[in-house]
Structure 1
Amino acid sequence: MSNVQIIAKNTIVLLISQILSYLFAFFYTIITARYLGADGFGILSFAIAFTGIFGILADLGLNTLTVKEISKDKSLAGKFLGNFLLIKIVLSIVTLLIIALILNAFNYPIQTVTVVYLVALSVILNSFNGIFNSIFQAFEKMQFQSIGQIFYSASMLIGVLLAIIYGFNIIGFAFLYFILSAILLVCNIIICIKKFIPLNFEIDLKFSISKIKEALPFGINGIFVFVYVWVDTIILFILQGNQAVGWYNAAYKIVTVCMIVQSVSNISVFPAMSQLYVNSKNSLQNLVEKYFKFMLLISFPLGIGITLLSPNIILLIFGKQYENSIIALQILIWSGISTFLYTAFAQLFLSAGKQITLTKITGICMIENILLNLLLIPKFSYVGASIVTVVTEFTLLVLIFIVAKNMGYGISFNQLKDVIKVIIASLVMGSFIFLFSEFTIFIIVPISILIYITILFSLRTFDADELLLIKKVIKN
């Protein structure tokens, strides 16, 4: 099976599982947001943002390095797993201590502190789950990761429904994150031992130190990304209160759901890119171009569609109490579009060992994001935070494109033609949505997709090889 077919197969497997898990997650998020209200949902969102930033310390790039190295040499799996688990134990203790010190320095209500601690434990456990998912990815056995995702999301949905039936408060909801992360970790350990490799606790200090140094750029990059993604929530919480955080994160949840295809594709493409960088630079060039085009085809119609349909989407999903989230969603969706467009080249940097370059870029964007948030949030609240997120992602897009061009992977003339065709098709689709916006989205969305696809084919957007690949993927 070719690399493209393997990627297509793994992407489809993950896409199906991600759709199911995201559907479950979407429903339990909606139910949670409606039940807790903007105020309670804001506290939970703050806990997730706060612990998530420090939770990166419990990983420090080890998960990404695991995929990169084991995909090249499967015999290293046992050594990586055993040593990295021990490293993660130490990192997790340090992370929890840092979180505790910061919480004690602020006079937060006991309810908020308890929620943060429970979510922090969940984040730590998910860091360990991440190392097992990295093993599954490296062996290109994505189905095990898929099963875990579906199990977790389905269980969360059931847990949230039970929590509402029994009248749980926000602490009960936070406890769900912790207990289900623990159960998933036990399942991942069992699968790994039975299907892949036994746990190897042979300590190799020299190996561990060398790999920490190698993984550090991935980890720092992860910290930078997580900070500029979540720091707005933390600043909003401090300066504007729980409700603003609730409105902002309701809109952000929809953007996150829209990013499902991008996140799934990255998981499937990364091992193949790592192999091709070593074995075939021409094939890597072709893969990067196809991946960029795939992301391009999704991004623009998604941005235009969500912008025009935001009032329908927010009121349908979250209700009138989240009406203030409409403008946030109309702005935030364009941050997701930028992410779609640069993701192929970001994955290329990681596969090519250019993680330090990517770290520098994300570091610049993190500083920009923090400064702009401190400037705009006091004046414009969650709307200012939304604008800053878009500006930051666009800056990241420009810088990544510049570096990619210097590496010889810049946007070609044919790709520019594709961009124009996609914009034309998206605008035609958007015109239809604008004219018939009074209809239900369950009618507008399917017809809009059909119009978009029809225009793409009429403009001959796909070459013969791409049409053949589309047929193979559908057939498989």
Structure 2
Amino acid sequence: MSKARKIAKNTVFLFISQIISYILAFFYMIYIARYLGADGFGILSFALAFTGIFSILADLGLNTLTVREIARDKSLTGKYFGNIILIKIILAALTFGLVAVAINLMGYPQEVKIVVYFVALYSILTSFYGIFNSIFQAYEEIEYQSIGQVISNVLLFAGVIIGIYYGFSVLGFAFIFFISSVISLIYIFLVYIWKFPPYKMQLNWSFWKSAIKEALPFGLTGISGMVYTYIDSVMLSLFQGNEVVGWYNAAYRLILALLYVPITINTTLFPSMSQFHLSSRDSLNLITEKYFKLMVVTGIPMGAAVTILADNIIILIFGYGYQRSIIALQILIWTTVFTFIGAAFIRLLEATNRQLIVTKISAVCVVVNIALNLILIPTLSYVGASIATVVTEAILVGSVIMIGYKFGFGVSKNRINEILLKVTVSTLVMSVLLIYFKIINLLILAPFAVLAYLAVLYLIKGIDDMDRYLFKQIIKRR
């Protein structure tokens, strides 16, 4: 199989598996939230957030390092597999120990502790089958990872349905997460021993130190991301209690689902941006501009629409027991808008070998986020946590865009102003229609609003000849 065909095959497998996985995860989280109520959902959300922060310690970037090194030299497979597995066993024990000590020092009830233990085991085992996925990636056999991802989410979805049917408590659902990770690990192990020859385990103690040192930068980036994503839920649990965590996470889970859009586009455009960095600065700036425009055209109207329709969305998805999640969603959606706007510039810095800048900015934003949460949560509760999240993301995106201009990359200020003006006008027209026709069923109103927005954007020439040309090329390739 040619290189191009293999890349295309892997992209298709990964794209389809991610869509299926996101849909399954979206629905089983909704079912859990509706069934357990805000208090029970808050306990589970806290456990996922709390163990998520610690889970990166079970990997420390070793999975990423494994992909890079084995992809360069397949003869290193045995050396990396044998040593990394043993390192991960030690890291797993340390991680679980730290989780156990921390949760006990924090004085949570016994039920919450047991939920955290099960979810911690789930997170640790997920890290373990990451090493097998790393080898699949290095050999460009992505289909096995993709299938495993779908199997894991199917197991969770089925487990949630069974749990609801038999009336499980929050402990039962935590156990479902644990069991799903055990079965997924068995699957990935069986595929590994079937697909790959039995490599000789090469234990090398001096390798441990160099591998951890090489992997640590990846791990630090991961730690920043995990803390930034989950620390607000942990702090809400400490200061406000489980029910508040449930209200907050009902909105937050919807926000995380929307991030699938830039993640998918990032995966698709990154190779081209990296190539243009070496071959054509003009092409790099053009693709960055089009990426930025696509995210603005998508993000700003989405933010306005969700703000207006937040009550309809929350009640439709989670029910009347989560009405207090409405204001959280109205605020948090603008975190996603900023993420969309900054996505092109973050990818730009990474494509031009300036990823360390992004890591440093992320680390600063983690500190800012924690400080804001400490100030705002005691007085404003989950609303304060929502505000802290939006402000932090705005700082991150603003910093990345300014640095992009510093290095002479990105989108001209005139183009940014032109794009923002036309998108804002189109969004205002759409917003007026949404407010006026808000009583219409959400499933009918949403596509109507999208069509109205696109029509206005087209009429005021927000979609230019180049946009139409690129769209036609994409359609032809498909």
8 A Cα contact 2:288 2:410, kept in partner: no
**Residue in 1 that maps onto 2:445:** 444
> Percent identity of the aligned residues?
48
**CA 1:469–1:181 in 2, change beyond 3 Å: closer, same or farther?**
farther
1:200-221 deviation digits (Å, cap 9, x = unpaired): 6324555553343333222212
Distance 1:3 1:284 in 2: 23
* Structure 1 equivalent of residue 39 of structure 2: 39
| Rounded Cα–Cα distance in structure 2 between residues aligned with 1:456 and 1:136 | 44
Give the Cα–Cα distance (whole angstroms) in 2 for the partners of residues 9 and 293 of structure 1: 28
Structure 1: distance between partners of 2:75 and 2:417:
42
Whole-angstrom distance in 1 between the partners of 2:428 and 2:330: 16
- Give the CA deviation at 1:192: 4.5
- The residue that corresponds to 2:430 in the other structure is 429
Residues in 2 aligned to 1:76 and 1:354: alpha-carbon distance in whole angstroms: 30
Cα-to-partner distance string for 1:221-275 (whole Å, 9 max, x where unaligned): 2212221221111111111111100000001011111112122333444556556
Q: Are residues 255 and 153 of structure 1, via their aligned partners in 2, closer, same or farther at CA, if it must alter by over 3 Å?
A: same
Aligned residue identity for 1:382: Y
In 2, the alpha carbon distance for the partners of 1:246 and 1:302 equals 24
Q: How does 1:128-143 map to 2 (within 5 A)?
A: 128-137=128-137, 142-143=142-143
1:4-403 matched pairs, under 5 angstroms: 13-66=13-66, 73=72, 75=74, 78=77, 80-137=80-137, 142-195=142-195, 201-270=201-270, 284-403=284-403
Q: Provide closer, same or farther for how the CA distance between residues 312 and 218 of structure 1 changes in structure 2, counting only shifts above 3 A.
A: same
The 1:196/1:342 distance shift into structure 2, 3 A limit, reads farther
Contact kept? 1:331, 1:386, Cα under 8 Å: yes
CA contact (8 A) 2:288 2:344 kept: yes
Larger Rg belongs to: 2
For each residue in 1:125-168, what CA deviation from the matched residue of structure 2 results, as whole angstroms up to 9, or x when unmatched?
11233344445555665544433332222221111111111121
Q: Is the 8 A contact 2:285 2:410 kept in 1?
A: no
SS in 2 for 1:100: helix
Alpha-carbon distance between aligned partners in 2 of 1:465 and 1:143, rounded to the nearest angstrom: 35
Q: Secondary structure at the match of 1:213?
A: helix
The answer (yes or no) to whether the contact 1:11–1:265 under 8 Å persists in 2 is no
Greater CA deviation, 277-286 or 147-156? Answer: 277-286
Give the stretch that moved more between structures: 33-42 or 356-365. Answer: 356-365
Q: Which moved more, 1:21-30 or 1:4-13?
A: 4-13
Shift of 1:467: 3.2
Q: Which residue of 1 aligns with 2:471?
A: 470
- Aligned CA distance change for structure 1 residues 81 and 98 (closer, same or farther; 3 Å): same
SS of the aligned residue for 2:60 comes to coil
- The TM-score, its normalising length taken from structure 2, stands at 0.89
- Normalization by structure 1: what TM-score? 0.89
Distance in 1, matches of 2:291 and 2:76, equals: 28
Relative to structure 2, which stretch is displaced further, 220-229 or 124-133?
124-133
Rounded to whole Å, the distance in 1 between the matches of 2:101 and 2:284 is: 46
The question of whether the paired residues in 2 share the 8 Å contact of 1:81 and 1:200 is answered with no
| Structure 1 residue 338: Cα displacement | 1.3
Summarize the Cα distance change of 1:6–1:25 in structure 2 as closer, same or farther, 3 Å threshold.
same
Cα distance in 2 between the residues matched to 1:3 and 1:397:
35
RMSD: 3.1
Moved more, 77-86 or 155-164: 77-86
Change (3 A) 1:225 1:76: farther
Q: Is the 8 A contact 2:348 2:410 kept in 1?
A: no
Give the direction of change, closer, same or farther, for the CA distance of 1:21–1:109 in structure 2 (3 Å limit).
Answer: same
Aligned residue type for 1:230? Y
Partner of 2:420: 419
The one-letter code matched in structure 2 to 1:393 is E
- Kindly indicate whether the alpha-carbon contact (under 8 Å) linking 1:60 and 1:220 is maintained by their aligned counterparts in 2: yes
How many correspondences in the alignment? 475
Higher RCO (CA-CA < 8 Å; seq separation 6+): 1
In structure 2, do the counterparts of structure 1 residues 350 and 297 end up closer, same or farther at CA, with 3 Å as the change threshold? Answer: same
